[in-house]
Every structure is written in structure tokens, then in C-alpha cells.
Amino acid sequence: MYPQQIHEYLRQFFNENKCPIINENEHYLNIQLTIDMDKKIMNRPFYWKYIESVNETPNPAQITLITDIQQLKEGVKGEVVHFGSPRLHQLFRVTKEMGSFVKMYEQVHSAPDGQMILTPWLGVNYKISYCSHQTKETLYSLGINLMTGAVFQEFQERLTKLDLVKDSPEQVFNLPYIITPVRALDRLDAVVDQMVREEDQTWAEEAKKRWQKDQAVLDYFYEGQDEKPECYEIEKNAMEERFKPRITIEVLNGGLFYLIGDHARSQMHK
């Protein structure tokens, strides 16, 4: 996940949660939190307990998040956010808690030829974690057209360029989907599985070599002992837990999106 992708995610997250962005450029954002969001992410329960007990006027925090510290020219001080940082994981968790599935429509401002047709899409954001003694995490955003079955990557990035609303606009016809969302999710899961299989597996091979090397050192210290002590088994199990390569795939969130047909196709192919 690149800095510009993180920046766009943060902007959309706070806009969707009604937190005004006071200042920003392409490398940082200064955000005024709402009371609700302050309670969710700032970890100051005693402050809010006191404010509510004495009926004082609340003062939710402002935060500055830096998404690309290397490119930042101004003397801006704030919290650096990168993929894997605690703050970004916190926002992922909050997003999941607040609602992992949405249904939205592309806003139609005019329909010169009569009724506008909206095409249904299923969009899903996945997090893939490659875990051993080191961890690598990757985000994939996939969208599938529920009429044609066509699958596109970077779907979330495309959605951020569209004007989406929660209620269906007037003078539109929402096409009934041919592929059910459950079946479409199965297809997207299969696409993600294939992407994982095609990934470079060098990381797993290196982890196994490191595991074997450390195991050989451990065996050397207990060489000649017919019955290994309990501490040997503890260290051996800890070593397996640390070095054994494993891959986890997690659905972060998703949604059903009704988009202008021709416009959606042209956008997705860019």
C-alpha cells in the first residue's frame, strides 16, 4: 500500500465519518475529530468520563497524520502513518466495527436521454498477511460486475473518484443482478487465492532455511541426550511458531455499488 493510497484512504475515512479536514496537502492531513471519533481512536476514557460527569463543553482532539514524511517539505509535526503502523491498523479495525458492508449508488445529476441505468457491482477489500519471523501485509481491492462477471483490481481507488450516495437517485433504473453477491464473493475469493499462489515464494523458503539453521543450533546444545528436557520442547515449539510460513487472508469490508454503466466500464479500465 503506497503513501498516496494511504492518504486517500485516510481522507475518505474521516470524510465519511464527518470529521472536517482542516489543512492538508498530498503528504499530510490535519483533522478535527468529532466527539464519537475521539472516543473511538484517542484512548482517553477518563477525559470523557470527567467531561460527561460535570457536564462540561467537550473539546474533541485535532490530529495531524503524515502519510509521506520523506516528501514533506513544511515543518509539520504529527503522527507518521504507514502500512503496518498501529494507527492505520486501528482505523481498519474501527471501519470493520462500524460496518463492514455498505450499499451505495452513483449520484445522477441529470439524465438527458430519459431514465439512467445503474449497474450493480460487488466491491471487496482484502488484507493478505505473509507471516514468519517477519510479516508482510498487502491490500487488494477487487470489484466484480454482477451482470458480466468481469473482475477489476484497485476498485476502491476508482470508487473514491465517484460521487456516491446512500439512497438511490431519482429517475434511475437499478439493474437486478444476474450473479448473486454470494456467488460473486466466491469468485473474488478464488481470484485472491490465485494471486497468492502466483506470488514470489522466496520469503517462505528463506524462513524455512532460517528455521532449519536455528533448529540445528538448538539440537547441537542437546546432542547426546536421549531424553530432551522440557525446555528443549518449549524452545522448539517457539521456534516453529516464529518461523513457520503461513498466509492469512482477511476480508476487511465490502459493498454493493450501483454505478452508471458505460461510465463505470470506462473508469475501471483506466
Beta strands in 83-216 (DSSP E): 101-106, 116-131, 135-145, 151-153, 164-165, 172-174
Tens-digit pLDDT profile for residues 113-134:
666 889 999 999 998 888 887 7
The better pLDDT of the pair 261, 220 is held by 220
pLDDT at 266: 43
Nearest to 155 by CA among 125, 186, 198, 175: 125
**Do residue 54 and residue 120 come from a single domain?**
no
With the CA atoms of 3, 4, 8 and 9 taken in that order, what torsion angle do they form, in degrees rounded to the nearest 10? -30
Can you tell me the distance from the alpha carbon of 115 to that of 136, in angstroms, rounded to the nearest whole number?
A: 47
pLDDT value at residue 265: 45
pTM of the predicted model, to two decimals? Answer: 0.59
Pair 154, 141: CB distance under 8 Å: yes
* Average pLDDT of the residues of the chain: 84
Of 98, 120, 140, the one marking the end of a domain is 98
Counting residues of the chain whose pLDDT is more than 70, the rounded percentage is: 93
| Mean pLDDT, range 179-185, rounded to an integer | 89
Q: Are 63 and 216 in contact (CB under 8 A)?
A: no
pLDDT digit string, tens, across residues 75-107: 788 999 987 788 988 888 887 776 667 888 998
Residue 253 domain-assigned? yes
> Each residue of 31-53: pLDDT tens digit?
999 999 999 999 999 999 999 89
pLDDT in tens, 194-244: 988 888 778 878 888 888 888 888 887 888 777 878 888 888 888 888 888
In whole angstroms, give the CA distance from residue 166 to residue 160: 14
Q: Give the range of the structural domain holding residue 177, as residue numbers without chain letter.
A: 101-200+247-268
Q: Given strand 28-32, what is the order of strands in its sheet?
A: 21-25, 28-32, 62-66, 79-80
Residue 234 domain-assigned?
no
Q: Does the pLDDT value for residue 176 go beyond 90?
A: no
Distance (Å, whole) CA 19 – CA 41: 13
In the prediction, which pLDDT does 264 show? Answer: 43
- What are the DSSP calls for 27-56, one per residue? TEEEEE--HHHHHHHS--HHHHHHHHHHTP
Radius of gyration of the chain, Cα coordinates, nearest whole angstrom? 24
Give the residue from 98, 125, 150 where a domain finishes.
Answer: 98
Residue 21's pLDDT is 92
CB 55 within 8 A of CB 48: no
Q: What is the pLDDT of residue 46?
A: 92
| Residue where a domain terminates, one of 98, 114, 148 | 98
